[in-house]
Amino acid sequence: MTHSGNPFGQVLVALVTPMTADGEVDWPSVEKHIDDVITAGADGIVVTGTTGETSTLTDPEKIRLVEVGKDVAAGRAKIITGGGSNETAHAIELYQKSEKAGADGIMIVTPYYNKPTQAGILTHFRLVADATDLPVILYDIPGRTGVPIKYETILRLAKHPNILAIKDAKGDFSEVSRVLNQTGLMYFSGDDANVLPHLSIGATGLIGVTANIAAGPYRAIVDAVNRGDLAAATAQHRKLEPLVRAVMTHVPGTVSAKYILHGLGRISSPRVRLPLVGPEEWEAAIIEDELALVAGVEGVDFSNFRPDRNAAAGGALPKVPGTTR
């Protein structure tokens, strides 16, 4: 299929997956949270990504997240499915099912743990992209996968008609510029602290964790860059800095984002699934110290922040169909 323009949006939220206190997906909270971030300015939602705890979601949960996302978005935002698998056949199966469930696009992460060669990475991405008509975002995050997508591999992948974009969490700005100069790929910032720097050298948008909490300021940054107003974009960037630090620095972003969203009363529980656990007492204290520095961020009022460190402590095992847990 030939894809034209930008089929993904610009302000994409790497959605957390709200869960109940016993670790089940909290579907009413999922619906509410998706509606909240879209209302705040997101025009794209990435479900079942790293932030969504893809590694501990079941396949049926992943497909249902796409279905729920489509229902709630109702055309207001694109629903992109992330995660996939480090097994090529399993990744293809998941993305094909996601396409049938209504996904607007897919984000394919470099196979993790296997540490394939660049030839293996190239083959994995090509076979997955061949297996669906959906537009594809490549996800380059060597800190989690163990291997980068090298520049030469990106150039070859950019020739595939379904591969339209790349999410960059590598932090190599010179490579971003090289790829933008040599391909037609869209770039999405995958590092919350570097959203504005990425946009300033030509990135299309962002796929952000902190946007779960404050999508509005990211909308303002993108809109300001689109109209060439660097001063307005910089002002929003500076206001967000302590919040980004609170979310992304001390514990995994999923953990801190859920802790903060729960403290704001926006999700029912801060629970994550093992091996992730909630912040320890000292970690929670540091996060709260950072939040005390947040001021003037649109849509976020920390005067009513009520963290529950006891609710956040520990993790939860997902229940497995056909078993007692």
**179-189: pLDDT as tens digits:** 999 999 999 99
- Compute φ and ψ for 285, nearest 5 degrees: -65, -40
Token pair belonging to 157: 């992948």
Residue with token string 């229902």:
71
pLDDT at 323 (0 to 100): 44
DSSP 158: T
The yes-or-no verdict on residue 174 having pLDDT over 70 is yes
Token pair belonging to 30: 């999922």
Rounded CA-CA distance 126/9 in Å is: 23
Rounded CA-CA distance 162/125 in Å is: 10
Q: Is residue 51 a known part of a binding site?
A: yes
Q: Is residue 50 a known part of a binding site?
A: no
CATH number of 11-229: 3.20.20.70
Domain ranges in the chain are 11-229
Furthest-apart CA pair in the chain: how many Å? 57
The yes-or-no verdict on residue 171 having pLDDT over 90 is no
Burial (0-12, 13-18, 19+ Cβ within 10 Å), 320: exposed
**125-140: pLDDT as tens digits:** 999 999 999 999 999 9
Q: Tell me the residue ranges of DSSP E strands in the chain.
A: 11-14, 44-47, 78-81, 105-109, 136-140, 163-168, 186-189, 205-208
| 167 is annotated as an active-site residue | yes
**67-82: pLDDT as tens digits:** 999 999 999 999 999 9
**82-128: pLDDT as tens digits:** 978 999 999 999 999 999 999 999 999 999 999 999 999 999 999 99
246's enclosing H/E stretch is helix 230-248
Burial (0-12, 13-18, 19+ Cβ within 10 Å), 215: buried
pTM for the full predicted model: 0.94
The yes-or-no verdict on residue 31 having pLDDT over 50 is yes
Angle between helices 230-248 and 215-226 (to 10 degrees): 150
Rounded CA-CA distance 16/255 in Å is: 9
| Mean pLDDT value of segment 283-296 | 96
| 113 is annotated as an active-site residue | no
The yes-or-no verdict on residue 321 having pLDDT over 80 is no
Residue with token string 């995958």:
190
Q: Given 95, 139, 187, 218, which residue is catalytic? A: 139
2's enclosing H/E stretch is none
Q: Given 78, 167, 239, 258, which residue is catalytic? A: 167
Q: Which pLDDT band, with edges at 50, 70 and 90, does 144 fall under?
A: confident
Q: Which pLDDT band, with edges at 50, 70 and 90, does 304 fall under?
A: confident
pLDDT at 319 (0 to 100): 63
pLDDT at 145 (0 to 100): 87
Q: Which pLDDT band, with edges at 50, 70 and 90, does 324 fall under?
A: very low
